[in-house]
Structure 1
Amino acid sequence: MLDLQPQQKQCVEMKEPFILVKGTAGSGKSSIGIYRAIRLAKQGRRVLFVMYNTNLAASMEALVKALIIDIPINLRIMTFYQYVDKILRKRVMRSSRSVVEGTELRNFIRPALGKVKKYKKSSVLEWDEQFFEDEIQYIKGRGIKDLEEYKKIARSGRRKALQEGPREAVWEVYCAYQSLLKGATREDWADLALLALQTLQDRPLDESYDDVIIDEAQDLTLVAREVIQHLVVPLQDKVPTSGSMMVLADTAQSLYSRSFSWSQLSNQMKMKPRSVNLKKNYRNTRQIAEAAIQLLALIESTYEEGYIDPELTTRYGPPPMVITAMNTAGMFSWMSERIRDLTSDKTFHFSDFAVLC
């Protein structure tokens, strides 16, 4: 792994109890998290390095092993939902095997939507199933308890505006969906997050973590961040026994429209954070970064609170290629041929490529 830049090293060694690291893509946020986790674990502290994405967690664990070979027992690297599964198995004997996820969610959303359409008229009920899947997860991720609360919430970053009438229709679909899940003795991951929060509120951990590091925090819901808050020793300014929480995020990289807000997070923690902005992208060439900035400019939510205007690297390379295919089959054919061509002389390996869809 590359040596840390001075600003990145400073973040690793910070001693404040609550630290927000805002960074553009490729600015080294995950590297900071890795080195900080190792540093604190070596001091004998109990450390949790948590994130949303399963593949990211596996990559972080592999990188830590590459640096220190054996991961100490006082350092845990896992996704948020892996931790939720762990705590619920231990406390309420609840297994994640009953969880509805992925394409199976539609098997409950579709009949819920059909049921509401039979007795309620609203144009929002003609919107696609993906909207309802996302909106239901948003409702649960915000911990919204009733229709009146849902009507009042701003829904910033949700892309599609909803007035009071349509919200009532959406709430009806949500209730029908929950009823169908209950009838099938099933739950989704958002339900388990809410249950984990409830059990932690009722009975705190017997042994909390001294330090929690959250990577890609923009992809975690409000409820998820509140759960994580219950896992760490209370944060206190200028107290040696204080816990610490470092939050690493880039609102421009959010994949799930969580409406992440730095001010919201500060209010949630009830503490003013030490805040750091990482502007330089070390990962990409200048040409790739410039192309990405042009694409981001087309997304309405890009410039919401927390956006970091990237500082372009001085590393140059060829400009990105834009290929137009006649159809999907032609597009995949070109990609596969291009990848085979680039790997033919062993300069590149298949693991060097990513195909984003």
Structure 2
Amino acid sequence: MDARFPADREESDREGRHAMPAGDSAAQEQSRQLALAAAHERAAADARATASRYGVASATEQRTAAALAPLAAAGYHLLADRRWPGSRRAQVDMVVVGPAGVFIVDTKAWADVRMAEDRIFRGQEDVTDELMALADLAYRTEGELVEVGLAPGEVHAVAVLAGRSGVDERVGPVRVLGDRDVLRQIARRGARLGQEQVDAVLARCLSWFTHVDAAAPISTTLPEPVLPGPRGPVLLAPDEDGAPDTVVPEPRPAPDLPTPLLSEGEVQRAMLEGLMAEPVEEWMSFLHPAQARVVRRSYNGPARIRGAAGTGKTVVGLHRAAYLARTQQGKVLVTTYIRTLPDVLRQQLTRLAPDVVDRVEFAGVHETAKRILDERGVSVRIDGKQIASAWTAAWGRVAGGSAIDTDRHEQEYWHDEVSYVIKGRGLTRWEEYAALPRLGRRHRLGMQQRRVVWDLYEAYDKELRDRGVHDFADQIALAEAELRREPLAERYTAVVVDEAQDLTCVMIRMLHALVGDAPDGFTLIGDGQQTIYPGGFTLAEAGVSVAGRGTVLDVNYRNTREILQFASLLVKDDEYADIEGATARGDRPTEVPRRGPKPVYVRCQNEADRQRRMVLRVHEVVAEVGTNFGDVGVLSLSRRGVESATEALKKAGVPVVNLEQYDGVPVNRVKVGTIKRAKGLEFKQVLVVDPFASWLTEKAEELDEVDRERREFRLRELYVAMTRARDGLWVASI
């Protein structure tokens, strides 16, 4: 989910203007921003005058309107004295619609106010219910604005305490602010919606919050920013003749209003803070209406959200986690198989929903299991060298020279059979394995071969015990057994599982045990087409039913049509066992709205030629407008490929960060990593650097079942890599 921030663009722009010293550029940018803030304040004077003419109910509400009026010069619309939807008499003091979202503002002229334990008191009277009515209105407004695609977290209930300052509290979902604080708190959220999105939301709000009188929303056209030059202020925009003009702005007379809550300097600082705030990516705040409805949808038990690559599953999952954190008590767990992905998702939610990020826990599946065992005092020792030694000893004792020791299978194949098929499905008796449909494993095993595999499993398990160690599958099984013995007491209200197709059956059982079948408690997100690990299973085996609670996302928002067509050729004939029990060929998006250049495939002479071309390609794409080093992902099937690519890029002076160290914080470095580490991420440009040409040309019908299975997993992995690309794809083979 990589994205570029304004700081990256500014850095790129400065690099392109070699004639301007860095100090001069920074000084000019500072002057431009200060001039822009001053322009906002001048335009806000008009908005204040408009606010003063509103028929607001009281002086306190008028003061709130005046305090918020400077927002009108920054693309906000202030709807005052609107009718409370569903009520004949109640009114809403102010609805603010703009780049930072929607704010439903209610002014309270309350004296002797105190807040404690998520309650608010006026003197001795508990008036929390009054704020909860405002929260309920915000919740219903979320549902209304979902129909235009506004994410639920972009609607805010705000109670303003008249005559108070330095107040910033929460009572349930309602933000409580002093009237001197409300402007700053709204402005500082920065730009989260584009102009078209603001217009769409405003149109819906005007019909939802009907006017009591005929007053129009406050709306002011922002003057062009004025930049001080050596001979006076210079208007940045050209005049009608195309030449820059010189203007000296005249201060406008202040409207006749009560004493301002904020000084001109305070207003400028508040507006400048908002202007300089890093905007959240639009895809985080504005969804397709179908996606937004899924975020708020209520399920009466475990649910599944699926869809092809690029359909926004992870984004929907993050929004859903934030939504559940706002609307339910307790913590929400977001988990996935990839160890490094939770850190990236945490950073994304911090930008998406900073108000609830502390109520959402991000942890990999194994990290979650370890925490459960640590809390129960169950000791687990994982030692990679000892695990490898145990496997080698078991193989030599049982499998060497046996019916499964053939040239057609490396030991890795049988290690996967033990780890994913036997231990991953929680099998404990030979009879279970003997009769098991080995979903996702094309190589058919006879009874003699199965018996050897089971003996290998038992020998390996004994070797682990003799060494006093466990493997990662044991860690999951022990945590699942602990939860069966004693369920967790009220830790999580919901669990959201991203890339659910990568988990094992025992992992699903363990996570499901955290919340059971509670309404909206368990959400599985994933795409069977992107399964790249063996050991398929069904949800029925895990004791989970999502019958009647499934949603399919079918619009690809990430890839261009050209990238998706190219990547889909790899898996067009692929069949896989879906976790719901059916054999599937993959979901196909019904719509791919974006177009772009065709992917580039190059056949290289040797490895040195491939590395040289890779470096050239990186320099080519970062030379394009709007693309930076941090927008590029170089992906490999192997760690060796990652090391080779990293060495070549560093030698060429290209900044690099390994995906194993990437935590989601924007960094202007090319991201290099294995395809497995790239799951759940996206990049503007993707380079896939180590496939062999034969992988792309071999025909499945000419392969035996062993090689065909290998080919399917390999091509799915390449498909995952290619569909990480948003704008451009480059593939190099030998």
TM-score where L is the length of structure 1: 0.88
Matches of 2:585 and 2:514, distance apart in 1: 25
Match of 1:43 in 2: 327
Matches of 1:306 and 1:196, distance apart in 2: 34
Counterpart among 136, 144, 151 of residue 418 in structure 2: 136
* Distance change >3 Å, CA 22–CA 260, structure 1 → 2: farther
CA displacement, residues 76-111 of structure 1 (integer Å, 9 cap, x when unaligned)? 12111111011111102425xx3245x875443233
Match of 2:708 in 1: none
Counterpart among 67, 87, 97 of residue 352 in structure 2: 67
Where does structure 2 lack aligned partners over 5 or more consecutive residues?
A: 1-280, 638-734
Counterpart among 358, 368, 390 of residue 83 in structure 1: 368
Counterpart among 256, 272, 293 of residue 533 in structure 2: 256
Match of 1:295 in 2: 570
Match of 1:230 in 2: 513
* Distance change >3 Å, CA 53–CA 166, structure 1 → 2: same
SS in 2 for 1:206: coil
SS in 2 for 1:20: strand
Query: What's the offset of the Cα at 1:270?
Result: 4.5
Matches of 1:49 and 1:183, distance apart in 2: 36
2:521 is the counterpart of 1:244: yes
Match of 1:340 in 2: 619
Query: What's the offset of the Cα at 1:32?
Result: 0.8
For 1:223, the aligned partner's letter is V
* Higher helix residue share: 1
* Distance change >3 Å, CA 346–CA 289, structure 1 → 2: closer
Match of 1:278 in 2: 553
For 2:484, the aligned partner's letter is Q
* Farther-moved stretch of structure 1 (311-320 vs 136-145): 311-320
CA displacement, residues 179-225 of structure 1 (integer Å, 9 cap, x when unaligned)? 22112211111101100111111111121422221111101111011
2:640 is the counterpart of 1:356: no
For 2:525, the aligned partner's letter is L
Which aligned pairs between 1:211-230 and structure 2 lie closer than 5 A? 211-230=494-513
Report if the CA contact (8 A) 2:492-2:514 is conserved.
Answer: yes
Where does structure 1 lack aligned partners over 5 or more consecutive residues?
A: 236-241
For 1:356, the aligned partner's letter is S
Matches of 2:488 and 2:435, distance apart in 1: 33
* Farther-moved stretch of structure 1 (311-320 vs 147-156): 311-320
Q: How many residues align?
A: 345
For 2:543, the aligned partner's letter is Q
Query: What's the offset of the Cα at 1:248?
Result: 0.8
Report if the CA contact (8 A) 1:106-1:129 is conserved.
Answer: no
SS in 1 for 2:324: helix
Report if the CA contact (8 A) 1:52-1:80 is conserved.
Answer: yes
Report if the CA contact (8 A) 1:124-1:170 is conserved.
Answer: no
Counterpart among 376, 388, 393 of residue 111 in structure 1: 393
* Higher strand residue share: 2
Identity across the alignment (%): 28
Match of 1:239 in 2: none
Match of 1:238 in 2: none
2:338 is the counterpart of 1:58: no
Matches of 1:104 and 1:320, distance apart in 2: 45
CA displacement, residues 228-266 of structure 1 (integer Å, 9 cap, x when unaligned)? 11101542xxxxxx452211110001121242546x37x
Which aligned pairs between 1:314-325 and structure 2 lie closer than 5 A? 314-325=593-604
Match of 1:160 in 2: 443
2:543 is the counterpart of 1:268: yes
Matches of 1:128 and 1:280, distance apart in 2: 40
* Distance change >3 Å, CA 61–CA 298, structure 1 → 2: same
Which aligned pairs between 1:181-200 and structure 2 lie closer than 5 A? 181-200=464-483
Report if the CA contact (8 A) 1:280-1:313 is conserved.
Answer: yes
* Farther-moved stretch of structure 1 (346-355 vs 153-162): 346-355
Matches of 2:461 and 2:624, distance apart in 1: 55
* Distance change >3 Å, CA 153–CA 276, structure 1 → 2: same
* Distance change >3 Å, CA 63–CA 137, structure 1 → 2: same
2:448 is the counterpart of 1:176: no
SS in 1 for 2:292: helix
* Distance change >3 Å, CA 92–CA 19, structure 1 → 2: same
For 1:45, the aligned partner's letter is Q
Query: With CA pairs under 8 Å and 6+ residues apart, which has the higher RCO, 1 or 2?
Result: 1
SS in 2 for 1:295: coil
Report if the CA contact (8 A) 1:110-1:129 is conserved.
Answer: no
Report if the CA contact (8 A) 2:562-2:599 is conserved.
Answer: yes
Matches of 2:386 and 2:614, distance apart in 1: 30
Query: What's the offset of the Cα at 1:328?
Result: 2.9
Query: What's the offset of the Cα at 1:340?
Result: 3.2
Matches of 2:585 and 2:297, distance apart in 1: 21
For 2:344, the aligned partner's letter is S
Query: What's the offset of the Cα at 1:275?
Result: 1.3
SS in 1 for 2:495: strand
